[in-house]
Amino acid sequence: MNKHQPSATIRITLTAVFMACNIALASYGIAVPGGHLYLCDVVICLAAILLNPFEAFVVGGIGSLIGDMIFYPLPMFVSLVTHGLQAVVISLMSHYTLKDHPKVASGIGVTIGAVIMVTGYTLGKIFVYSTFEYAMTKLPYEIAQATLGAVLGMILCWRCGIRKLYMRTAHVPDPA
C-alpha cells in the first residue's frame, strides 16, 4: 500500500458514509416559494474535495440516483449524470490542479461543479418535463442550491477542519 493513500477499507467506508449522507439529504428539502432547496450538494462538494474522482462519482452520481429512486424517481438519471459529473470535476480540480494551493483548487472546482449542476438540471428538466418555461422557473432555485452546496462544502472542508480530520483518519500526510 502506498503510504500516501488511505487503505481500501477506509476509502470504501468513507465513500459509503458520504453516499448515505447524500441519500438522506435527498429526502429533505428546505421549502422556498415555488420549490425546495436540497442540501445534498453540500455532501457532494465536500466528498468530492476529499475523495478521488471514482469515489466522488459514486457519492455524487450513484448516491443521487439512489436518493431520487427512493424519494422522487422522475429525474433520477438526470441526477446520476449531473451530480456524477459535478463530483468528478470537483475531485479532479481539487487533486490535480494547483497542488501548492489546495483551497484555491477546491474553490475553482466547486465553482465549476456549481455551473455543471445548474446547467445539467436545467437541461434535464427541459427534457424530463418537456417544457423550457418550467425549467426557467426553477433556475433561481438551482443556482441557490448550487451556491449553498459549494459554499457550505468549502466551509465544512476547510474552516471546520474536516479535511484535516480526513487526512488524519485516512493516514495521509497533509501537504497543505
**Predicted confidence (pLDDT) per residue in 17-66, tens digit:** 999 999 999 888 888 887 788 899 999 999 999 999 999 999 999 999 99
CATH class of 8-169: mainly alpha
pLDDT value at residue 175: 57
Mean pLDDT score, 124-150: 89
Contact by Cβ (8 Å): 27, 69: no
CA angle 27, 48, 101 (to 5 degrees): 145
Q: Name every residue whose Cβ is closer than 8 Å to that of residue 128 and which is 6 or more positions away in sequence.
A: 74, 75, 78
Domain boundaries, the chain: 8-169
> Alpha-carbon distance 22 to 48, whole Å?
12
Q: What is the pTM of this model?
A: 0.90
121 closest CA partner among 4, 113, 167, 23: 113
**Predicted confidence (pLDDT) per residue in 94-135, tens digit:** 999 998 999 999 999 999 999 999 999 999 989 887 788 888
